[in-house]
Amino acid sequence: MQEHLLRYKKGVKYCYLDFETFNLCLSFVHNRYWQNGMIKVVEDHIVDEADIRVKWDSHLKIGEGALRVVDYNKEENDKLAVNQKEAFDKMEEWLDWADYIVGHNLFSFDFPLIQEHCRMNKKDWKKWAPKIIDTKCLVYGSKTDYLFNPDEDDLFTYQLRIFEEFKRGVKTNLTLCAKERGIEHDYDSLHDALCDLKLNIKLFDKLKWELEI
């Protein structure tokens, strides 16, 4: 048995994270996240989840393009929203707790926004970078036969190499990757952060057995 592989490790703590945002910009000058979904998983078991809505001191509003794909209710969101500092403190606590931070498209989208939020609060984001597991990178590696080799790279460096080498035509969106693996899910409710994350958990559970990580 290869006990170093994640599928065999005991007590591993994962924080799954997904933002729903005003638009697709990676700068807080033009974009913020209005929902931060996070789920704590220990080994294969969900132990906690958080649905954090954020109220920003900003003129920014959700764009028409985002409204077409997310279930955004401004009145409901305003009632649930906390200030950005409270939202950041909760995120920091959960990411510090985790051994790994898992998401789909973390390198390209969510993590740059985490960096922006860290800068706003004068905090260091670098402590979290080595914890990242981006399932989009793992799927890309699987589809292109660019598989992880622990004798050549650590997992973080391997994912960075993939991120830098993405090629057009290789389809890696979350829904497609899950359906290709026959994963059952409520696909009609996607683009809510927690629903997306629960699909991401199922996908990563498959990838842990599909890949030697």
pLDDT tens for the chain, 213 residues long, are 476 788 888 999 999 999 999 999 999 999 999 999 999 999 889 999 999 999 998 888 887 777 766 777 778 888 889 999 999 999 999 999 999 999 999 999 999 999 999 999 999 999 999 999 999 999 998 888 888 888 888 999 999 888 887 777 889 999 999 999 999 888 777 667 888 999 999 999 999 998 888
**By three-state DSSP, how is residue 196 classified?**
helix
What is the DSSP secondary structure assignment for residue 158, as one 8-state letter? H
Give whole-number Cα distances, 22 to 28, 59, 115, 133, 150, in Å. 10, 11, 17, 24, 38
Closest CA to 39 of 20, 17, 24, 23: 17
Question: What CA–CA distance (Å, rounded) separates 98 from 111?
Answer: 15
Question: What CA–CA distance (Å, rounded) separates 206 from 6?
Answer: 12
102 neighbors 14 (Cβ within 8 angstroms): yes
159 neighbors 140 (Cβ within 8 angstroms): no
Tokens of 163: 């991120």
Q: Which residues pair with 42 in a beta bridge?
A: 13, 45
Question: What CA–CA distance (Å, rounded) separates 102 from 180?
Answer: 20
Question: What CA–CA distance (Å, rounded) separates 54 from 32?
Answer: 9
H-helix or E-strand containing 41? strand 33-42
Question: What CA–CA distance (Å, rounded) separates 145 from 148?
Answer: 9
Give the domain 13-210 fold. Nucleotidyltransferase; domain 5 (3.30.420)
**By three-state DSSP, how is residue 33 classified?**
strand
Diameter of the chain measured on Cα atoms:
55
Starting from the edge strand earliest in sequence, which strands make up the sheet with 100-103, in order? 82-83, 45-55, 33-42, 13-21, 100-103, 132-134
What residue segments make up the domains of the chain, in order of their start?
A: 13-210
Write down the pTM of the prediction: 0.92
